[in-house]
Amino acid sequence: MTNNAKIAEIFDSIQGEGPYIGYRQLFIRFCGCNLLCDYCDTEFNNGDLYSVETLLNEVKKYNLEAIHSVSLTGGEPLIQYEFLKEFLPELKKLGVKVYLETNGTLSKALADVIQYVDIISMDFKLDSCAKIGDLYNKHDVFLEQASKAGVETFAKLVFDETIKDFEINECIKLAQKYDIAVILQPKMDGNTIKVSHDKIMETFNCFSEKYHKTRLIGQVHKFFDIR
């Protein structure tokens, strides 16, 4: 095995976003990302190189009986898919669930590793908030892969005051097409919510009236001051 991955951090903590909020997970934060979202507050550039073997040995130091799943997070873990292709089969041998946190744009990389993934937490990126253009076509292809493989998937969506009606409609169209839950996550700066109460409720009502699998879930870990 010659493949190495650059990893920013490995830590045992609590999932603070989405439907698995509150579950204990082992987080592996991969360095690098293919996007540059305006609201990104994650430090993922500096890290150390790990081989498959050294990362597995690191994972084994944790009490895997106590965790719900291993979260592959970033950055964007799928940009290191060559490493994941070797690492994930070995990780699965430890009997853990694999939870992939992804920006939902790298469908070819997903295809290479999806057989080892149990849960996909993907993002719907909105240009109004992330300022990286519209990515609905990429999200569509990505969700098609996930759906064909039958992997449990949901989409989180960070929004602010500037969310547009057409963005809401595009996200609902995709969510309906693949029958997935949409998690509305008001934008935060540190532990401060940057969206007004009225806008949060207006956005939630707009989504939920058109799509019943809508949920409003904030980033709970920021209030508890845990990573």
**Least distance to ligand SF4 from the beta carbon of 209, Å?**
28
Region near ligand SF4 per CB under 6 A, out of 19-27, 28-36, 46-54, 201-209: 28-36
Q: Exposed (0-12), middle (13-18) or buried (19+): which is 148, by Cβ within 10 Å?
A: exposed
Q: What is the rounded end-to-end Cα distance, in angstroms, of the chain? A: 32
Q: Kindly state whether residue 32 participates in binding ligand SF4, applying the rule CB under 6 A.
A: no
Whole-number Å distance between alpha carbons of 104 and 9: 22
Task: Report CA-CA distances (Å) from 124 to 1, 71, 101.
Answer: 35, 19, 12
Q: Which of 21, 35, 216, 220 binds ligand SF4 (CB under 6 A)?
A: 35
Among 10, 33, 72, 163, binds ligand SF4 (CB under 6 A): 33
Instruction: List the beta bridge partners of residue 72.
Output: 28, 100
**Residues in 60-89 that interact with ligand SF4 by CB under 6 A:** 74-76
Sequence-separated (6 or more) residues with CB below 8 Å from residue 117: 88, 98, 99, 100, 110, 151
Nearest residue (CB) to ligand SF4, 42 versus 169: 42
Number of residues that bind ligand SF4 (CB under 6 A): 10
Among 11, 22, 24, 42, binds ligand SF4 (CB under 6 A): 42
The long-range contacts involving 92-96, CB below 8 angstroms and separated by at least 24 positions, are 92/116, 94/56, 94/59, 94/60, 94/64, 95/64, 96/26, 96/64, 96/67, 96/69, 96/70
CB of 74 vs ligand SF4, minimal distance in Å: 5
110 in Cβ contact with 66 (< 8 Å): no
Q: Within 157-196, which residues bind ligand SF4 (CB under 6 A)?
A: none
Task: Report the nearest approach of ligand SF4 to the CB of residue 157 (Å).
Answer: 12
Piece in contact with ligand SF4 (CB under 6 A), picked from 30-38, 143-151, 172-180, 202-210: 30-38
39 vs 224 by CB, closer to ligand SF4:
39
Which residues are at the interface with ligand SF4 (CB under 6 A)?
33, 35-37, 40, 42, 74-76, 103
